[in-house]
Structure 1
């Protein structure tokens, strides 16, 4: 039976398959944004998403938007742009700046769900080696990037931004190449939207996603995967 749960002090969640169908995927309310609870949430295919000043809401939607990592995940026009671009790329060199940039409202939005509390929670996860960022630089200016959570050989994408056209797409292309090279098998994109679809995301049933997550979440990834470093496209 699908139902909405109210969380207590323990970082325990109900079965994601119990999430409501309307609104799609809403599973639980309350709790906190402690590292222990957040890690447990992603381990089970659950993520927080709520507006500032609202109660903490936890989700596991059906279907789930995903990508399969590929080294070459760009079309011809993007590849041409990258070959001519002066952009540099890095991993985990500016996590705080990336999540802050992602929190800025888009032109079509009045606010943001990436509140100061969310930012501080994920910065703490980053310090614990759980949350990671990809950065795009034009000289020394941060012009694009993204961040997310690593769970075994699954990368759970959270948000991306750009200050120059196509910089977020370039960050995602670099993420794809890096994850592919390091043996990751799945990128969780959470909820489909036109931008994700344009990047190549596909929807899968929640049951199938959770089964994949269960297989992949305990896989060990190389220690050097998330060291702060410069990274380069392999054309």
Structure 2
């Protein structure tokens, strides 16, 4: 069986579809094009008062793109609330390749020298396709998401694709849009210039996001 190429993934994202697998141990990978697409509107991203306090405590050391492979491993490990995952060996390989090509990015939460949470996704034009997140400590993935959004807003991104809507994402203002509307938003984002900010210090961007969120709470 021939392996998928990372370039094919980029083409798939550009037309609005994304890869999945039924389970970690299923070698088959397929592409998904849902009728309704989940997105996190960047201009109305909601950070609760309690989460703002958590972010400002700065309990975690936030790093970007320092150990993308470890984030993939964290997102693919079984947990009590999710005993299985859609990240099979093929998907693992493909996203690692996208990272090496400069398209895949990770936001990582570290504490006492250990990674305790994070997320990863793919940047293409002014669109960021959020793939998965994980926490080994309370609120780690939420804090990582806040830092991601701050970087996206500061870098000129216009679309944060969450693929589907979950209760976890709804608290941040995630919404569903019909497929055709999503494709219009995506097309506009792909035409817009943006460069993902992967610098070590994003705190000024985070402070600006928290301030704007507090004005709309």
Q: TM-score, normalised by structure 2?
A: 0.87
Tell me by how many angstroms 1:71 deviates. Answer: 9.1
Q: Is the 8 A contact 1:92 1:228 kept in 2?
A: no
Q: Which runs of 5+ in 1 are unaligned?
A: 1-29
Q: Is the 8 A contact 1:156 1:189 kept in 2?
A: yes
Q: 1:170 to 1:137 in 2, by over 3 A?
A: same
Q: Which runs of 5+ in 2 are unaligned?
A: 211-217
Tell me by how many angstroms 1:32 deviates. Answer: 4.3
Q: Is the 8 A contact 2:62 2:109 kept in 1?
A: yes
Q: 1:108 to 1:75 in 2, by over 3 A?
A: closer
Q: CA offsets, 1:28-69, max 9 Å, x none?
A: xx9743111111011111001112325321111121110122
Q: Over aligned residues, Cα RMSD in angstroms?
A: 1.9
Number of matched pairs: 204
Tell me by how many angstroms 1:93 deviates. Answer: 1.1
Q: Which structure: larger Rg?
A: 1
* Structure with the higher fraction of residues in helix conformation: 2
Tell me by how many angstroms 1:196 deviates. Answer: 1.5
Q: CA offsets, 1:102-129, max 9 Å, x none?
A: 0011213332211222111100110001
* Residues 1:158 and 2:131 are matched in the alignment: yes
* Residues 1:90 and 2:66 are matched in the alignment: no
Number of the residue aligned with 1:42: 13
Q: Is the 8 A contact 2:41 2:160 kept in 1?
A: yes
* Residues 1:167 and 2:144 are matched in the alignment: no
Q: How does 1:169-188 map to 2 (within 5 A)?
A: 169-188=142-161
Greater CA drift, 83-92 or 207-216: 83-92
SS of residue in 1 equivalent to 2:133: strand
Q: TM-score, normalised by structure 1?
A: 0.80
Quote the Cα distance in structure 1 between the aligned partners of 2:185 and 2:91. Answer: 27
Higher relative contact order (CA 8 A, sep 6+): 2
SS of residue in 2 equivalent to 1:117: helix
Q: Is the 8 A contact 2:27 2:89 kept in 1?
A: no
Task: Please identify runs of 4+ aligned residues in structure 1 that moved more than 6 A.
Answer: none
